[in-house]
Amino acid sequence: MTTPPTRRSSVGRVVAVVVAGVALYVLMPALVKVLDAWPRLLHLEFWWLAAGLASEVASFVCAMALLRLVLRTPSWFAVVTAGMAGNAVTNTLPGGDAVGASVQYRMLAGSGIDTVQAASGLAVSSIIGVGALFALPVFALPVILGGTTVSPSLIHAGELGAIGFVLLVAFGATALSTDRMLLALGRALQWIVDHLPSRLRRGQPDQPIGARILAERNAVREDLGRNWWKAVLLIAGRIGLDFFSLIAMLEAAGARPHPALVLLAYSATAVLALLPLTPGGLGIVEASLSGLLILADVPSANAVVATLAFRIGSYWLPTIAGAVCYVLYRRRYGALGANGATRA
């Protein structure tokens, strides 16, 4: 028996669907323009296309390895299946970021990983990834300062990234060095747990959630302190390989753009895709990336087909793989229960 949705959750879902619908309606012309370019995929240079797809696969491997590192678990199967399934949910449902994170958390918990460990690991992985995205425009500064002509829109993207990076660093430093914010979070979560139906609180440990969060924070801080270089390499590989995939797709389309300008377009699109307006940034990425690539001196036709090829590797194929991963997870652990525990 499943718990019926509350009125608040139902309203939230309706709002998410409406927002996604409006956003997709506004972005539909750009999305259709990109999707209509699919016949031109047959004319892409094969080896560059293969290199782009291979880079995207390697990028996801780095993302899963980073999550495995912060979770401090030896299990590749649980991390990969949960990560890919959560990504697929994010890519297909309105407001999917929260739902995808919830599915990923429940799958990790259902595989035997401690719930607080799973929650903190997902949070740390997300903060590291977003912080690295905001830092990307810094690597284009030497070219900008060197006198290369850059569109004002791309310069504004760099400024947005710098501001976001500073804010995230401040947040991360506060979370790692002080207890007050995490204790407040723990009290809020404890209140929520205490007001859940009794059947959903079965198996909850007696230790307060705030104390468990602090203990988990200390464990993550100590572990990352020893393995910081692994985290840096993995997040660099995650984003660097994803960016190289875009460069490869542009090369496959016959464009020879300035990499620094493409980096600004890529980072701006990545930041915009963080807005939970459409599933997986569908429409937002296609519209912004193709438009910003044109500002980066990429011919319009090349920008559109390269964007489509890039999205096949970063959005469509991983979404299909996520559905397969969920089936594999259920074959090993069974279906997910309401509290994250699996049931045969």
Cα(261)–Cα(295) distance, integer angstroms: 9
Token pair for 10 = 């139902």
Phi, psi dihedrals of residue 343, rounded to the nearest 5° = -135, 140
pLDDT tens digits for range 50-69:
999 999 999 999 999 999 98
Task: Supply the pLDDT for residue 232.
Answer: 79
Q: How far is CA 18 from CA 101, 126, 193, 195, 252, in A?
A: 21, 26, 30, 30, 37
- Short-list 335, 271, 282, CA closest to 130: 271
Out of 92-106, 124-138, 207-221, 309-323, which region has the weakest mean confidence (pLDDT)?
Answer: 207-221
List CB contacts of 18: < 8 A, sequence separation 6 or more. Answer: none
Domain edges within the chain: 20-343
Using an 8 Å Cβ cutoff, are 266 and 136 in contact?
yes
| Per-residue pLDDT at 211 exceeds 60 | yes
Cα(193)–Cα(205) distance, integer angstroms: 11
Task: Supply the pLDDT for residue 217.
Answer: 65
pLDDT tens digits for range 94-137:
766 778 888 998 999 888 888 877 877 787 777 777 777 777 77
pLDDT tens digits for range 257-276:
888 888 888 888 887 787 77
List CB contacts of 141: < 8 A, sequence separation 6 or more. Answer: 158
Token pair for 249 = 């797709």
Q: In sequence order, what DSSP letters do the residues of 163-224 get, joined into one string?
A: HHHHHHHHHHHHHHH-SHHHHHHHHHHHHHHHTS-GGGSTT--SS-HHHHHHHHHHHHHHHH
Cα(22)–Cα(281) distance, integer angstroms: 13
